[in-house]
C-alpha cells in the first residue's frame, strides 16, 4: 500500500476545530494538528474560533487520535473490496501489537459498482474505510515521538498496487466533557456575584444559555479549552418593574 504522508482532502478540510460528541463513548475530538507535506513529519497548529465568553476552563487532553483512510479504486469489484478488508485487518493487527495503542473502526463503504466508461471519460467507484489510531496522552509524553510512532505503525502495512493508506490529521481527545459542567457553572456564578457587588442595587444580572452544550477547542499541544456559550444581560430593576407596552 502506498503510504501518503499528506492529509486526506476530506480530513484536511477540517482546518478549524471540529468536535463531535459520541453518545456511546461520550468524548470530544477536535482537530489540533495536520501534516503539512511529505517532507514534513511534524504538525502545524490550526486556527480555531475563540469562545465569546469570559469564563472558560483549560484541561489536559486525555489522548491523541490519528485518522486513517484506506481507499481502493480498482476495476475489479471483488478484488477492490477484498483488499480494503485485508488492509483494515492488517492495520488492526499492527496497532494491537503496539503497547498502549488502540484501533477504532469508523465508516466503511464497500462498493458493488465497477468502473464506469463513457465516450468522454472513465469514472471510478472507490471503496474506502475510515479508521482511527488512538494513544493515551500522559503528562510527560513526547507528543512528537508519539505521533511519529503512530505513523510508523501505519507504514508497516504490506504494500499492494491498488490500495492507498492515507494517514491524516492528528486530533486531541478529552473524555466526558460534561463532567466539567459543574466546575464551569461554579466559575460563572462566581463571576456573576462579583459583577453584582460592583453594580448598584438598582440593576439585575440575568444569565441565559447555561444549559447549552459544553464547547471544546484545542488550547495548546496538550490542553483543551472548555466553555458554555452563555450570555449575561444587565437590566434595570425599574425597567423590569415597568416593562414597555407591546405594540
All residues at 6 or more sequence positions from 97 whose CB lies less than 8 Å from its CB, including other chains: none
CA–chain centroid gap for 179, Å, is 18
In this prediction, residues 62-89 reach a mean pLDDT of 84
Q: How far apart are CA 229 and CA 143, in angstroms?
A: 30
Q: What is the mean pLDDT of residues 4-13?
A: 36
For residue 197, give the 3-state DSSP assignment.
Answer: helix
| Rounded distance between C-alpha atoms, residue 15 and residue 193, angstroms | 38
Average pLDDT, the chain: 76
pLDDT in tens, 155-183: 888 767 788 888 888 888 888 999 999 99
The sign one gets for the Cα dihedral 10, 12, 15, 21 is positive
Helix or strand or coil: residue 194?
helix
Picking from 152, 153, 148, 155, the residue whose alpha carbon sits closest to that of residue 170 is 148
Task: Summarize pLDDT for 202-232 with one digit per residue, the tens.
Answer: 888 899 999 999 988 888 888 999 999 999 9
- The helix/strand/coil state of 160 is coil
Evaluate if residue 58 carries a pLDDT over 70. Answer: yes
Residue 133 has pLDDT above 80, yes or no: yes
Grid coordinates belonging to 79: 478484488
Kindly state the average pLDDT of the residues 52-60: 93
Rounded CA separation 41/151 (Å)? 9
pLDDT higher than 50, residue 240? yes
Which cell numbers hold the place of 44? 502545524
- pLDDT value for 247: 65
Is the Cβ–Cβ distance between 182 and 55 less than 8 Å? no
pLDDT value of residue 49: 59
Cα distance between residue 189 and residue 195, in whole Å:
10
**Mean pLDDT, rounded, for 46-63:** 82
Question: Using 50, 70 and 90 to split pLDDT, how confident is the model at 188?
Answer: very high
- Reported as a single tens digit per residue, the pLDDT across 85-117 is 888 899 999 999 999 999 988 877 776 655 555
Residue 56 near residue 227 (C-beta atoms within 8 A): yes
Q: What is the CA radius of gyration of the chain?
A: 24
Amino acid at each position: 500500500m502506498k503510504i501518503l504522508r499528506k492529509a486526506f482532502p476530506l480530513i484536511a478540510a477540517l482546518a478549524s476545530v471540529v468536535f463531535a460528541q459520541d453518545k456511546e463513548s461520550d468524548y470530544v475530538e477536535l482537530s489540533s494538528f495536520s501534516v503539512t507535506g511529505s517532507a514534513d513529519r511534524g504538525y502545524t497548529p490550526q486556527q480555531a474560533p475563540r469562545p465569546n465568553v469570559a469564563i472558560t476552563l483549560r484541561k489536559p487532553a486525555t489522548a491523541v487520535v490519528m485518522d486513517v483512510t484506506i481507499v481502493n479504486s480498482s476495476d475489479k469489484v471483488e478484488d477492490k473490496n477484498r483488499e480494503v478488508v485485508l488492509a483494515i485487518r492488517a492495520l488492526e493487527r499492527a496497532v494491537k501489537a503496539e503497547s498502549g495503542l488502540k484501533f477504532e473502526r469508523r465508516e466503511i463503504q464497500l462498493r458493488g459498482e465497477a468502473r464506469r466508461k463513457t465516450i468522454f471519460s472513465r469514472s471510478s467507484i472507490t471503496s474506502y474505510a475510515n479508521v482511527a489510531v488512538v494513544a493515551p496522552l500522559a503528562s510527560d509524553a513526547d507528543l512528537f515521538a508519539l505521533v511519529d510512532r503512530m505513523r510508523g505503525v501505519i507504514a508497516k502495512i504490506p504494500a499492494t498496487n491498488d490500495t492507498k493508506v492515507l494517514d491524516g490529521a492528528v486530533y486531541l481527545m478529552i473524555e466526558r466533557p460534561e463532567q466539567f459542567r459543574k466546575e464551569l457553572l461554579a466559575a460563572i456564578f462566581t463571576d456573576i456575584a462579583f459583577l453584582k457587588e460592583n453594580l448598584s442595587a438598582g440593576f439585575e444580572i440575568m444569565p441565559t444559555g447555561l444549559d447549552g452544550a459544553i464547547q471544546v477547542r484545542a488550547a495548546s499541544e496538550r490542553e483543551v479549552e472548555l466553555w458554555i456559550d452563555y450570555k449575561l444581560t444587565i437590566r434595570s430593576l425599574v425597567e423590569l418593574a415597568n416593562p414597555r407596552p407591546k405594540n
